[in-house]
């Protein structure tokens, strides 16, 4: 039947191989090391420190790790292995079963709990079974499918308490409970966690408490990064941090408890002097008013650096900050280094966010948040793990 496993239990042919998912960036990484393109340094010690900080903030809850979307673009396999081996993280969340399969192979641990937000479909049930993945059921239909195909196999349930995006409506919770599934985790998701004082939090918490009572044996989880850092009334049994692990704030303001994890860097590839009246870049959006020195750096929107950073963003070279001038092109940006006390040289390292330039500031200057800054990093950017 189309979309089912073969007689050896292998996933359907149209699924990407978990091995391919794990190695998708390997060729690009080797090419970058040769070509001198941009890269992102990823500090796994800082990652683990953020996990430990959240554990201290939510001492009564288990701490999971959300590693969906290739750990927010920073590399699922090395991130998950670091959290598992160094911090004894035992629970992980992904969106798709293909991600879960790749994660299982990366961890090489049959004991890790891997939850899949997307839930089961007819054609993906074989992946759940083969790789021991746990679905989060988002509807009565998914619950009935799991009961029919997998019987008493463990499952989670996602209850919608006001996000109106994914999750089972409150009206369906009793019907899902009546199926007598082996529900081991019940979750919901705060809609306004970026604003710690938002009145919707309490409404969702009360709705979740009411609905979760239908699953008395289940572990309860309401909070991702924001709720995990907001206080014990939102912790329940399990919190599911994502962005805070990777060095980004879940709030509308910066959070100094969170250590920077990723640093986006690229080399200077050319320097030039221009005179008054000369322009820089496509569209001639920058015109020099006086003699200037311009550094061209090997980073562009093709690597995921936002075009909105044109004439707004900045970068650090050898401890000195330079404004980005002109448009962001596919492969390059240009910086004004005229005022530098120590003029940069070709091959000097430029930092666009990291320890020397806060991620929060870089995101504001590019009209971004940490979530899309990280996940937008392109495939040709080398990921280097410290």
Whole-number Å distance between alpha carbons of 315 and 319: 10
Helical residues (DSSP H) of the chain, grouped into ranges: 18-23, 26-35, 44-57, 68-72, 76-87, 97-107, 125-130, 140-150, 173-178, 200-212, 225-228, 359-365, 370-375
Give the chain's end-to-end CA distance (angstroms, integer).
46
167-193, pLDDT tens digit by residue? 999 999 999 999 999 999 999 999 999
Annotation says 282 is catalytic: yes
Catalytic residue chosen out of the listed positions 51, 68, 147, 246? 68
Whole-number Å distance between alpha carbons of 185 and 348: 50
Domain with CATH 2.40.37.10 in the chain: 262-385
317-356, pLDDT tens digit by residue? 999 999 999 999 999 999 999 999 999 999 999 999 999 9
CATH class for the region spanning 44-246: alpha beta
Q: What is the CA radius of gyration of the chain?
A: 23
Annotation says 68 is catalytic: yes
Task: Say how many residues make up the chain.
Answer: 386
Tell me the sheet residues that pair with 336: 294
Whole-number Å distance between alpha carbons of 45 and 261: 8
CB 230 within 8 A of CB 200: no
Domain with CATH 3.20.20.10 in the chain: 44-246
Look at residue 1 and tell me whether its pLDDT is greater than 70: no
In terms of C-beta density within 10 A (0-12 exposed, 13-18 middle, 19 or more buried), how is residue 14 classed? exposed
Catalytic residue chosen out of the listed positions 19, 202, 282, 345? 282
Look at residue 246 and tell me whether its pLDDT is greater than 60: yes
77-131, pLDDT tens digit by residue? 999 999 999 999 999 999 999 999 999 999 988 899 999 999 999 999 999 999 9
In the predicted model, what is the mean pLDDT of residues 55-59? 97
Give the residue with greater pLDDT, 3 vs 69. Answer: 69
CATH class for the region spanning 262-385: mainly beta
Residue 142's pLDDT is: 98
Q: What is the pTM of this model?
A: 0.90
Using left for φ > 0, alpha for ψ between -120 and 50, and beta otherwise, residue 235 falls in: alpha
Measured CA distances, 223 to 14, 69, 249 (Å): 34, 19, 14
CB 179 within 8 A of CB 214: no
Whole-number Å distance between alpha carbons of 166 and 170: 12
Instruction: Map 278-317 to HEC letters.
Output: CEECHHHCEECCCCEEEEEECCCHHHCCCHHHCCCCEEEE
């Amino acid at each position: 039947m189309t979309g089912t496993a073969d007689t050896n239990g292998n996933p359907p042919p149209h699924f990407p191989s978990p091995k391919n998912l794990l190695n998708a960036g390997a060729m690009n990484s080797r090419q970058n090391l040769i070509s001198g393109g941009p890269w992102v340094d990823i500090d796994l010690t800082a990652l683990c420190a953020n996990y430990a900080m959240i554990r201290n903030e939510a001492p009564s809850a288990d701490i999971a790790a959300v590693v969906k979307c290739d750990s927010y673009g920073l590399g699922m396999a090395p991130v998950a292995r670091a959290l598992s081996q160094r911090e004894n993280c035992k629970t992980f969340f992904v969106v798709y079963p293909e991600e879960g399969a790749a994660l299982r192979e990366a961890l090489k641990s049959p004991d890790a709990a891997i939850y899949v937000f997307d839930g089961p479909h007819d054609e993906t049930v074989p992946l759940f079974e083969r790789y021991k993945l746990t679905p989060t059921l988002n509807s009565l239909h998914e619950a009935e499918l799991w009961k029919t195909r997998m019987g008493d196999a463990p499952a989670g349930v996602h209850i919608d308490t006001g996000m109106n995006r994914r999750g089972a409506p409150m009206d369906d919770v009793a019907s899902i409970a009546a199926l007598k599934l082996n529900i081991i985790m019940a979750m919901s998701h705060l809609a306004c966690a970026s604003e710690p004082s938002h009145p919707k939090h309490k409404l969702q918490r009360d709705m979740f408490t009411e609905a979760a009572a239908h699953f008395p044996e289940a572990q309860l989880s309401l909070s991702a990064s924001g709720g995990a850092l907001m206080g014990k009334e939102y912790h329940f049994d399990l919190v599911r941090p994502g962005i805070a692990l990777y060095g980004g704030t879940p709030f509308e303001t910066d959070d100094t408890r969170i250590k920077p994890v990723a640093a986006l860097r690229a080399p200077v590839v050319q320097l030039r002097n221009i005179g008054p009246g000369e322009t820089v870049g496509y569209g001639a959006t920058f015109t020099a008013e006086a003699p200037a020195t311009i550094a061209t750096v090997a980073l562009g929107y093709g690597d995921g650096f936002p075009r909105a950073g044109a004439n707004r963003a900045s970068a650090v070279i050898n401890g000195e900050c330079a404004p980005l001038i002109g448009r962001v092109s596919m492969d390059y940006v240009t910086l004004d280094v005229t005022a530098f006390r120590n003029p940069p040289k070709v091959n000097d390292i430029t930092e666009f966010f990291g320890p020397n330039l806060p991620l929060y500031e870089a995101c504001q200057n590019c009209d971004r948040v940490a979530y899309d800054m990280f996940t937008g990093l392109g495939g040709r950017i080398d990921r280097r793990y410290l």
